[in-house]
């Protein structure tokens, strides 16, 4: 049930997209899809390519709220949220603190461990890390991840200890902070969250080593199963963990939580996304469709998350 009955109640809406991150092109695709859906519903929406002058554009644009669809750095790391909060401009999704916590894989996993939620073993690493120790603690394969990047950018699955240093070096090209994570053998799932409700679970299947950038945005061989094939009990369990993980990072409005499920049926949290993709390959629209929401209704519902005030929870 929509809280807002007429498009005019939203006022003048800035759709923040693009930006300067490694995910700029994906953000522009998501942003244009969102903008088109808002305009089709009669909402007074305007594209803002969030460059260095974004504060000035927002200040002089006389906007009533912002739909944030910036992926990666500048969008999901708290930077744009800090700007919007300083301008007292309501916006979609999580606030600055939650954006920082969800973007930083190291902080996310530490908080989840503190909550008693399941996540794969991991270590912060750098070029001087003890490779022998890493392999003894995490086993092989190991996945190397930049701490503050999304869309699998800079990630490598490492099958041999000899390849660990080069994988860490690659990851440090994208971020000064890097983690090595235990590889979970099993199936990958994702849960979209919208207004404190978990949407139907999606299972991801790819012939790639893992659900990497190409599998996410370019490949036609990636399969998305929704219904996901889990039993009702397992799906509800996965959704419950997702909601706990989402709230544990102080996230609000909407987002996505990613999982692996090992051969014994145990779920492991991978990461949370405070501003997931909204392209034709994206997962949140797919889950929303299974829940009975088309793309335009989903975009409307996300924009409604900006109506609670500038503090965004």
Supply the residues annotated as catalytic: 23, 151, 217, 256, 258, 271, 273, 277
Rounded Cα–Cα distance for residues 264 and 154 (Å): 29
- Classify residue 2 as exposed, middle or buried by CB count within 10 Å of its CB (0-12, 13-18, 19+): exposed
Alpha helices, DSSP H only, in the chain? 24-40, 54-60, 79-86, 96-103, 105-115, 131-138, 164-172, 213-217, 232-248, 283-290, 295-304
CA distances from 112 to 101, 106, 115 (A): 11, 10, 5
Rounded Cα–Cα distance for residues 312 and 94 (Å): 6
Rounded Cα–Cα distance for residues 4 and 106 (Å): 37
């Amino acid at each position: 049930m929509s809280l807002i009955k007429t498009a005019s109640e939203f006022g003048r809406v800035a759709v923040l997209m693009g930006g300067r991150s490694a995910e700029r092109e994906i953000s522009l695709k998501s942003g244009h899809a969102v903008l088109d859906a808002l305009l089709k519903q009669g909402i007074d929406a305007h594209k803002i390519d969030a460059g260095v002058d974004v504060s000035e554009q927002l200040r002089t644009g006389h906007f009533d709220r912002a739909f944030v669809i910036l992926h990666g750095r500048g969008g999901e790391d708290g930077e744009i949220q800090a700007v919007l909060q300083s301008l007292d401009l309501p916006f979609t999704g999580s606030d600055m603190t939650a954006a920082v916590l969800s973007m930083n894989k190291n902080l996310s996993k530490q908080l989840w461990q503190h909550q008693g939620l399941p996540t794969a073993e991991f270590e912060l690493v750098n070029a001087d890390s003890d490779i022998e120790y890493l392999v003894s603690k995490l086993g092989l394969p190991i996945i190397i991840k930049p701490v503050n990047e999304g869309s699998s950018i800079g990630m490598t699955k490492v099958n041999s200890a000899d390849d660990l240093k080069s994988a860490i070096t690659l990851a440090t090209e994208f971020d000064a902070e890097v983690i090595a994570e235990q590889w979970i053998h099993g199936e990958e799932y994702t849960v979209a969250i919208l207004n404190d409700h978990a949407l139907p679970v999606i299972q991801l299947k790819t012939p790639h080593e893992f659900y990497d950038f190409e599998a996410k945005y370019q490949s036609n061989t990636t399969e998305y199963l929704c219904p996901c094939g889990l039993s009702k009990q397992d799906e509800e369990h996965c959704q419950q963990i997702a909601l706990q993980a989402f709230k544990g990072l102080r996230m609000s409005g909407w987002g996505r939580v990613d999982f692996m499920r090992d051969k014994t049926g145990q779920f492991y949290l991978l990461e949370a996304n405070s501003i997931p993709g909204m392209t034709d390959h994206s997962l949140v629209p797919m889950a929303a469709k299974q829940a009975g929401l088309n793309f335009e209704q989903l975009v409307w519902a996300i924009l409604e998350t900006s109506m609670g005030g500038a503090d965004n929870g």
